[in-house]
Each structure stands twice: as structure tokens, then as C-alpha cells.
Structure 1
Amino acid sequence: MPYEWYLEYKIQKNRPGLLGDISSLLGMLAINIMTINGVDDSRRGLLMKCDSNDQVRRLESILNTMDNITITKLRIPKLRDRLAVRHGRYIQRDADDKKTFRFVRDELGLLVDFMAELYKQEGHKLIGIRGMPRVGKTESIVASSVCANKKWLFVSSTLLKQTIRSQLIADEYNEDNVFIIDGIVSTRRGSEQHLQLVREIMRLPATKVVEHPDVFVQNTEYTLDDFDYIIEIRNDPDEEITYRDFEEKQMFMNSQSLTGFEF
């Protein structure tokens, strides 16, 4: 049975023919290169396939004798490794909270690909998304659903017009669907019937995506520990994610007695 491996190395001293030498070495060891790409300015990543893990160990031993490169990763490929080779950059992960992943707006293609791969995994999955207004949260959720060939359902949303669902029809309780919940709309404007629907959906072995998870957990029985992934989207790496703009928007909606679309 073929084995897949991910190799990433840092180039200490670039020279003509370096990649050719490594490719030739892989060929002599009968290791096939599936995909190769730069993953930042000085690193290169390779997805490889071989018939025996001993081949990879011999490769590691030889590469460690080369002065021009340093092995940074050699392991069974993870989702982040596959996406790094595919997109030429690594997903940024919080150093303290390993389930938090950070993106900026110009990485939405990488984000959509990442979320689509999460959607394809079977069973319960709870994903939270943080970000300021108009940064691309809802659009990324929907685009990821399309990419993963999944049907998406807005349980609560403000994408076009404020939507608050209080019931689903029978075939919408499909474990293959992606359920989208706006944490602010649900907890600030949702009726008890709506919140009961949210609880039913949270018990389904399906993918649920909650925008504004911090507000959601403040006003429900759920906690951030219940989330499998937290995704943060910023316009730039230094942007602070706050809820002042959301609070002002909510006050305006309340003052105008906007009820949105509830059914």
C-alpha cells in the first residue's frame, strides 16, 4: 500500500540545480513527487508517495547531510500541509489556542478551501467565525459550501435581509447540510421558539457555523470549548475585532422596529 508523506525544507543557501538534485535523490529512492510548491520565501513543500516508510527514513538521513537545506517538517500530511502546497502559503494558527486559525481578507481563497475540506468531514462539527462587518464572513461560508458540494441553510442571518428561522421543514434536518447561525441575531432578536430550533440543530451530527461565537456563548448555555474550530478574518493582520459596530447596528435596528424575515 502506498504511503503519503509531507516534506518541507528551508533553503539555507540557494543555488542553481538544488531542486533538481533533490528531485533526482527522490527518484533514486523510488519516491514519487505528487505536488511541490514554495510555502513562503525560503521554504519549499512536497507531497510525496512511496511504497515503504523506510524509503523516507533513508531520504531524511541523506538530506540531513546537505548544508544547503534544513528539514523543517517530515510527517504524514495534515490538512494544513496539503493546503500550504496547494496555495503556496501556510494557514496561520494561534500559538496558544491550537483550534484558532487566522486569515486576512486577501487569503479568502485559502479560507474557502480550508472550510470546504472541514465540511467534507462527516459528523458533528461546530465552527465559529470572528470578524468585522463586510470582511467576508458569510460569503466565505457560502462559497465553502458550494466548493464542498453541500447545501447551506441560514438559521439566522443579515446577509440580504435579517432572517430568523423558528422551524425547519422535514427534509432540511439533513445531516449533510451546513447550518449557518448569526450569533448576534439569534441571541439578541431570536424568540424562544427560534432558540429551541438552534438547540435542535446543535444536537445534529452535522456541520454548524456560528458567526460571532463570542456573543453566542455569552447569551446561551454553550461555551467556546464546544467549538471544534475558531476562524478569525481581518482586513489586515493588525485589525482588532470588536463588537462596537455590531452594538450600534443592533441599537439602530431596534429603534426602527425592524423584525426582518422570521418563519
Structure 2
Amino acid sequence: MAKTEWYLEYEIQYNRPGLLGDISSLLGMLSINILSINGVAESKRGMLLLCKEEEQVTRLKSILQTMDTINITKIRRPKLRDKLAVRHGRYIQSGEDDRKTFRFVRDDLGILVDFMAELFKKEGHKLIGIRGMPRVGKTESVVAASVSANKRWLFVSSTLLKQTIRNELIQGEYNTDNLYIIDGIVSTRRANENHWQLIREIMQLPAVKVVEHPDMFVQFTEYKLKDFDYIIELRRDENEKITYEPVENSHFGQEDGFSMF
């Protein structure tokens, strides 16, 4: 029987010496292997476990619930957020009202790249939006995550090195293993109908698409925010406000508000 992974998270009620050793010994007696362990929040510890049968986990949970030194907060098959929490020592912050929105600050670039790389590795169509003010690191993070996921990235529209607006792709660029990057502001403010026809073709591909500035993108297209599988927000700090007022208040053809993005 193939072994399966589990995620165990518990809150320490009384951090006495030898507590972790006791839990590790219990796991050993139940023939459950510890893959990794880390603190995931203040007074919380997370573990990735490996075992053969679900009954082992049931017995583990039953025994741990009798311990007054800890309180089990999660025991389940690991989600991506669980694995990253153990790997990086903390949980990714998600939106309070929207569970598909995930928030990061510049100090989190390591975990952000890791998070996106795991998303990029999944096969099939995936539409990801990324919000953030200019020069906060959006595009660079997407490219770094593409490299980590061993994906070839293609700029459909971008301002990373110079303004890029593609109207067509060559034969080899229509590939489900590629990752397509679209700048929502560049596409909506500078593109022609040929460019939009290309975007519609790309959207039909079972591949990963990343749209920077998704809020601007949906204002001028038939696509909606509900079409996005994930929305990522990147700020310089937790108090920074993401706003598109400079762009919204400028007119087509004017460079002031547009150029800052």
C-alpha cells in the first residue's frame, strides 16, 4: 500500500522540556514518519507526516487529544498552504472575505515565488491575477517562479524591459507547458484588436496565464474577476494601498498616470 502524507498542526498549551520528544516517540511507536517540522505561528508547530494507513492517524489523533500540553488545530491531508507553512515557518495570509486571494509583502518574496511555482507546476488551465503598485516586484516574482517551476515564460504584454505588445505567436509558442504573462494595463491602454484576438486564443489553451493588474484587465474585457483561480496581492508593507487612480484619471494617449505603472 502506498504511503500518504498528512499535516498535523498543534498549539502548545504548556511548553515543558521534552514535549517534542514525547510526540516524536509517539509517532515512532505508531510507525508514522516525520517528513518535516517547523513552527508555523506563535506557539504553533506544524508537521508533515508519512504513513501507510489512515487508521494510524486516527489512533494518533485519539492519543494526542488526551494530552493537556497541546491542542490539535489541524490534522488533514496537506494543502499547498500547509506545506509552505512548514517549509517557510509561517502561513500565507489570505483574504478575509475571498479565500482565493493571497497577500504578500516584499519581505515575503521567497515564499511568494515558492507559492507561485507550486501553482505553475499544476497541469491544465489556470488563470492567476497579481495586484501591486509599480516596481514592487510583480513581474520579477512571476519570472522567478516560472524558472523554479521549469516553465518557459512568454510576455504577451509587458513593460519589464521595454513595452511589449504581441499580436501573434510563432508555431512553437503555442504550448501548454508555456506560461503566458499579460499586463492588464498595457493590453487595455495600448493594444489593438489583433492583440485581443491573440489573448482570446491564449485563454483557450490549457496552460497557465498570469495577468498583472487584473482589476484593470476586467474593466475593458469580457473576463470577470470570478474567472480567476487565484488573486495575489504584493505590497511594500502591510499598510500600502493598491490603487489605479493615476491610470484611471488619465486619458488614452497620455503618459503621466500610465507610465508610472
TM-score of the two chains, using structure 1 as the length reference: 0.94
In structure 2, what residue type is equivalent to 1:69?
I
Rounded Cα–Cα distance in structure 1 between residues aligned with 2:14 and 2:103: 30
Question: 1:139/1:253 Cα in 2 relative to 1: closer, same or farther (>3 Å)?
Answer: farther
The residue number in structure 1 matching 2:90 is 89
Higher mean C-alpha displacement, 87-96 vs 135-144: 87-96
Rounded Cα–Cα distance in structure 2 between residues aligned with 1:252 and 1:205: 33
Structure 1 gaps, min length 5:
259-263
TM-score of the two chains, using structure 2 as the length reference: 0.94
Instruction: Indicate conservation of the 8 Å contact 2:189/2:252, yes or no.
Output: no
Instruction: Give percent identity, aligned residues only.
Output: 72
Task: After TM superposition, give the deviation of residue 246 of structure 1 in Å.
Answer: 4.1
2:221 match: secondary structure? coil
Task: After TM superposition, give the deviation of residue 7 of structure 1 in Å.
Answer: 0.0
After superposition, the CA RMSD in angstroms is 1.8
The residue number in structure 2 matching 1:61 is 62
The residue number in structure 2 matching 1:204 is 205
In structure 1, what residue type is equivalent to 2:161?
L
**2:254 matches 1:239:** no
**2:179 matches 1:173:** no
Instruction: Indicate conservation of the 8 Å contact 2:117/2:149, yes or no.
Output: yes
1:119 match: secondary structure? helix
Alignment of 1:184-199 (within 5 A): 184-199=185-200
Rounded Cα–Cα distance in structure 2 between residues aligned with 1:160 and 1:254: 20
Task: After TM superposition, give the deviation of residue 102 of structure 1 in Å.
Answer: 0.8
Residues matched between the structures, number: 257
The residue number in structure 2 matching 1:121 is 122
The residue number in structure 2 matching 1:254 is 254
Structure 2 gaps, min length 5:
none
1:128 match: secondary structure? strand
The residue number in structure 1 matching 2:159 is 158
In structure 1, what residue type is equivalent to 2:195?
H
Alignment of 1:27-66 (within 5 A): 27-66=28-67
Task: After TM superposition, give the deviation of residue 252 of structure 1 in Å.
Answer: 9.9
1:39 match: secondary structure? strand
In structure 2, what residue type is equivalent to 1:171?
G
Question: 1:186/1:139 Cα in 2 relative to 1: closer, same or farther (>3 Å)?
Answer: same
